[in-house]
C-alpha cells in the first residue's frame, strides 16, 4: 500500500483518542502542538504524563470503558489501546469522513507518524513504512549529524530575504535569480549577508530604471 507524504494543517480539527497508555502519551502531545482544536481521550485511566493536560482547554478526558459499538464524530480516530478486537469493532463503526490511526495495525491505518526532526522552521520526517523502526532511527541519527548548526538562522534570513525580494517590484526572473544567489552556501556564509541582499535589490532596481531611459 502506498502513501502520500503531506504536512497537514490541523487548526479546527478534532481528534478522538481511544486509550491513554504509553502510545497515546507519546502521540497526544504532537497533536496538541500541531494545533488540533480538541483532543478527547476515551479511557478508564490516564497515563501519568498526560495528567498535566487536564487543565488545558484543548484536552478532555472521558473516563470509562469504550463500548465496541460506539461511533465517534471527531475528524480523526486514534485507536491506541492493547485491545485489537476493540480497534476492529470501532473501525467498523467509523464515519466516512474520518481518518483512522491504528497503533497495532499499520495496514488499516489511513496515516502514520513518521520520525521527525525539527529545528526552527526546518522540519524533516522519515519513515520506513513500518519495515524497520530500528533502521529508521539509525538513519535519522546519521542525517541529524549532517544538518548544519546554522540551519535555523539561515532559514530565518532566507525567509526575510524572500519577503524583501517579493515586495521589490522586480520581474519574476530577476527575483528568482536573487533568491537563488541568497540560498547559495557562499552567500549564507557572508557575515554581512543582509547588507549584501539590500545591495543586490538596489542594483537591480537601478538597472530597471536605467533601462527605461
pLDDT of residue 3: 78
Helix 151-166 / helix 172-182 crossing angle, nearest 10 deg = 160
Helix then strand count (H, E) for the chain reads 7, 7
Question: Is the sign of the CA dihedral 31, 33, 35, 39 positive or negative?
Answer: positive
The pLDDT tens digits of the residues spanning 14-26 come to 999 999 999 999 9
Secondary structure (3-state) at 171: coil
- The residue-averaged pLDDT of 172-183 equals 97
The pLDDT tens digits of the residues spanning 190-201 come to 999 999 999 999
pLDDT of residue 50: 97
What global pTM score does this model have? 0.77
Q: Hey, where are the domains in the chain?
A: 14-113, 114-147, 151-210
The pLDDT tens digits of the residues spanning 142-159 come to 999 999 999 999 999 999
Question: Is the sign of the CA dihedral 86, 92, 98, 99 positive or negative?
Answer: positive
> What CATH number matches the domain at 14-113, 3.50.50.60, 3.30.565.10, 3.40.50.720, 2.30.40.10?
3.40.50.720
Does residue 41 surpass a pLDDT of 80? yes
DSSP category for residue 67: P
Does residue 127 surpass a pLDDT of 90? no
| pLDDT confidence tier of residue 213, bands split at 50, 70 and 90 | low
Does residue 47 surpass a pLDDT of 70? yes
| pLDDT confidence tier of residue 131, bands split at 50, 70 and 90 | confident
Q: Which helix (H) or strand (E) holds 164?
A: helix 151-166
Q: Which helix (H) or strand (E) holds 78?
A: strand 76-79
What distance in Å separates the CA atoms of residue 16 and residue 100, rounded to the nearest whole number? 10
**High-pLDDT (> 70) share of the chain, %:** 99
Amino acid at each position: 500500500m502506498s502513501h502520500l507524504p503531506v504536512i497537514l494543517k490541523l487548526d479546527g480539527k478534532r481528534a478522538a483518542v481511544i486509550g491513554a497508555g504509553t502510545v497515546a502519551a507519546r502521540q497526544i502531545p504532537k497533536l496538541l502542538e500541531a494545533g488540533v482544536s480538541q483532543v478527547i481521550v476515551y479511557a478508564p485511566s490516564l497515563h501519568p504524563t498526560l495528567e498535566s493536560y487536564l487543565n488545558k482547554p484543548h484536552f478532555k478526558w472521558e473516563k470509562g470503558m469504550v463500548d465496541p459499538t460506539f461511533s465517534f464524530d471527531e475528524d480523526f480516530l486514534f485507536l491506541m489501546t492493547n485491545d485489537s478486537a476493540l480497534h476492529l469493532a470501532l473501525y467498523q463503526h467509523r464515519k466516512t469522513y474520518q481518518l483512522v490511526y491504528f497503533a497495532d495495525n499499520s495496514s488499516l491505518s489511513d496515516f502514520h507518524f513518521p520520525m521527525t526532526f525539527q529545528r526552527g522552521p526546518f522540519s524533516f520526517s522519515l519513515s520506513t513504512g513500518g519495515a524497520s523502526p530500528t533502521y529508521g532511527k539509525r538513519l535519522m541519527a546519521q542525517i541529524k549529524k549532517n544538518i548544519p548548526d546554522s540551519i535555523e538562522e539561515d532559514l530565518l534570513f532566507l525567509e526575510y530575504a524572500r519577503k524583501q525580494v517579493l515586495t521589490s517590484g522586480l520581474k519574476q526572473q530577476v527575483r528568482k535569480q536573487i533568491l537563488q544567489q541568497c540560498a547559495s552556501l557562499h552567500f549564507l556564509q557572508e557575515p554581512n549577508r543582509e547588507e549584501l541582499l539590500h545591495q543586490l535589490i538596489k542594483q537591480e532596481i537601478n538597472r530597471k530604471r536605467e533601462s527605461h531611459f
